[in-house]
Structure 1
């Protein structure tokens, strides 16, 4: 009798797992849970992030049709870009030219669709709420070091190509608000007695829940003056 307990436990576990899986599918089928908490749902850029938002964003890298549909549903204006054949590790596909939503880049930037979708969520769900809380105003300008650039990581010979070489990354240096405040990574990171420092920490932490890689001053001196954000195949948050 004692020997039967492992088998009984296994059958019971499998039954409970099947019931849980069936319940989750029914919840998806009848939209009983938020889109961000539904692993089968398509990304909704109007919805608050949930347990599976980062997973949904990652899926867009291999599904440009779903990605552009998500941008359209979220009313994002952009200029489509023809593919740039990848030669020697540089080029891009499924990219667009975009200047931002409420928080605008000085000039339109070239980004992959998946990277743009992540930035839309980043502004709506991270940047603007943090800016209103800590800086008392909304961000209207994003200062940056650029997006697409045919180069290696750190611009160092012998290293692999950066995600910038595929228009799949952006380096943001500062955030400027409508009330005239400016939070600059170089000047304000770590200044936790000032609103700008608290804002930057909140922005970095929020970015880690959306982008595959987030690198800033906490990573190394190469990133002491900017946040590097990308949607590449690796995962890192610093």
Structure 2
């Protein structure tokens, strides 16, 4: 009888382990973006490990460009720039219709490839769905204050260098919708209504795709824009404010 009980116990354990293995396999097939070891695919919805995978693209420019190509994102690879502590060697320029449909003002903005990859996922999964929900119209243009700028944080004469010094950030000032509606961070962040709700939704959504997201809630220096950057995880700094 003891042998039978041991055998039944072993069979039950094997059955449980098989059930767990099958459930994990099914999960991996249905939500590969939620697993740390699956390859990044810009066409997939964001998952638990998407932000880290995007940030890590800074270590592999060819892999980042391959992802842009696979996702159908038009871009121009930029020549490397070296300027003391500043510069970049993995930047791409997005034309007016760079991320499939959306445009930029000013046009033709250049940025580090991982920022461009995250920006595309932000548009497809966060920005356009939010615009459709709140305004019944798509975003036509992202208005911005630029990406590359050889400077330290906050333009100080000393201290840490900004992610802008490596084209690893984009400052987003507002949006223009296809129906002509303009949504501005500086004008529309506060208060109630569709515009403030939209801005908060797209800010929160960006936090799942960028290493650092800073908004007017962070400090006065960001009262008129969202700072979106893709600092590598090794830097040890992540923020969503």
Distance 2:115 2:80 in 1: 15
SS of residue in 2 equivalent to 1:222: helix
Aligned-pair CA distance for 1:66: 1.8
Aligned-pair CA distance for 1:23: 3.9
Distance 2:170 2:52 in 1: 20
Q: CA deviation digits over 1:46-81, x for unaligned, max 9?
A: 111111111221221212222111111101111111
Which residue number corresponds to residue 7 of structure 2? none
Which residue number corresponds to residue 27 of structure 1? 25
Q: Which residue of the other structure, out of 51, 57, 65, is the alignment partner of 2:62?
A: 65
Counting only pairs closer than 5 Å after superposition, residues 147-186 of structure 1 correspond to structure 2 as 147-186=147-186
User: Normalising to structure 2: TM-score of the pair?
Assistant: 0.84
Q: CA deviation digits over 1:181-208, x for unaligned, max 9?
A: 11100011022x2101100000100011
- Runs of 4+ displaced beyond 3 Å: none
SS of residue in 2 equivalent to 1:121: helix
Counting only pairs closer than 5 Å after superposition, residues 1-238 of structure 1 correspond to structure 2 as 23=21, 27=25, 32-85=29-82, 87-99=83-95, 100-101=98-99, 102-106=101-105, 107-191=107-191, 193-232=192-231, 233=235, 234-238=237-241
Distance 2:228 2:204 in 1: 12
Q: CA deviation digits over 1:116-154, x for unaligned, max 9?
A: 101010111110000000121000011111111111111
User: Normalising to structure 1: TM-score of the pair?
Assistant: 0.85
SS of residue in 2 equivalent to 1:32: helix
Aligned pairs, number: 217
Q: Which runs of 5+ in 1 are unaligned?
A: 1-14
Which residue number corresponds to residue 10 of structure 2? none
Of structures 1 and 2, the one with the larger relative CO (CA 8 A, separation 6+) is: 2
Q: Which runs of 5+ in 2 are unaligned?
A: 1-12
The 8 Å contact of residues 93 and 110 in structure 2, kept in 1 or not, is answered as yes
Task: Please provide the CA RMSD for this pair.
Answer: 2.2
The 8 Å contact of residues 52 and 211 in structure 2, kept in 1 or not, is answered as no
Look at both structures and tell me which one has the larger radius of gyration over its CA atoms.
2
SS of residue in 2 equivalent to 1:141: strand
